[in-house]
Amino acid sequence: MNKFETFTGIAAPMPLVNIDTDMIIPKQFLKTIKRSGLGVHAFDEMRYDRQGNENPEFVLNLPKYRETSILVAGDNFGCGSSREHAPWALADFGIKVVVSTSFADIFFNNCFKNGMLPIVLPQEQVDLLMSDSERGENARMTVDLEAQEITTSDGDVIKFDVDPFRKHCLLNGLDDIGLTLEKADSIQSFEAKAAQERPWV
């Protein structure tokens, strides 16, 4: 997993509430076990018509939002079924941060495991970021995980909270496998000792 570093990017407004995981990545795309290649299908039913043509009115199809890396979303983002393909699709599209007033628990946890930062803020601060994001590519936000700050295009600074352990994992690019590999020496030592003490196992 790549380390999460301070970056400046385009934020897209998605004020719709209750955007569920089926809206993020519809069920017909859940056959793969690969994390890559799902970005093209993110928000598929809103992004394309039945013939596969782009919906010109969908926010991520607008020229000013094609390089979006931050989503400013409505309440209860990522609700619905517990499919990990949802954060896979967003990450593959290029999303690094999702801001909302609340997230579904499983989606929230899966974001951290896939290198994305979900940020929970009060409604008035989400409204401020939503308004800023409506300016498109000419208004970029900066997200600093180390300082736990979002800086708007106008220079307003919004502080956010994040669990210290999850922050550590993102800053150091550690998913569950990476965390396990950090203990590789201890694991090998235990296995060597166990092999001596119980050679029949």
The angle formed by the CA atoms of residues 83, 85 and 87, to the nearest 5 degrees, is 100
- Tokens found for residue 56: 């010109």
Q: What is the DSSP string of 35-66?
A: SSS-GGGTTHHHHB-TTS-B-TTSGGGSGGGT
Could you tell me if 26 and 41 are in contact, meaning their C-beta atoms sit under 8 angstroms apart? yes
C-alpha–C-alpha distance, residues 162 and 145, integer Å? 9
Phi/psi class of residue 185: alpha, beta or left (left: φ > 0; alpha: ψ in -120 to 50)? alpha
Q: Which amino acid is it at 162?
A: V
Exposure string for 19-38, b = 16+ CB within 10 A, e = fewer:
bbbbbbbbeebbeeeebeeb
pLDDT digits (tens, 9 = 90+) for 87-115: 999 999 999 999 999 999 999 999 999 99
Q: Taking the CA of residue 67 as centre, how many other CA atoms within 13 Å lie in the half-sphere pointing to its CB? A: 10
Assess contact for 131 and 156: CB atoms under 8 A: no
Residue labelled with tokens 């890396």: 69
pLDDT digits over 17-26, tens only?
Answer: 999 999 999 9
Question: Which tokens is 157 given?
Answer: 């600074």
Three-state DSSP state, 91: helix
The pLDDT value recorded for residue 194 is 72
The CB-side HSE value for 46 (13 A sphere, CA atoms) comes to 17
**What pLDDT does 13 receive?**
97
Averaged pLDDT score across all residues of the chain: 91
What value does the mean pLDDT take over residues 37-42? 94
Structure tokens at 103: 């997230």
Question: pTM of the predicted model, to two decimals?
Answer: 0.88
pLDDT at 181: 64
Whole-angstrom distance, CA of residue 2 vs CA of residue 23 = 26
Q: Which domains does the chain have, with CATH numbers?
A: 7-197 (3.20.19.10)
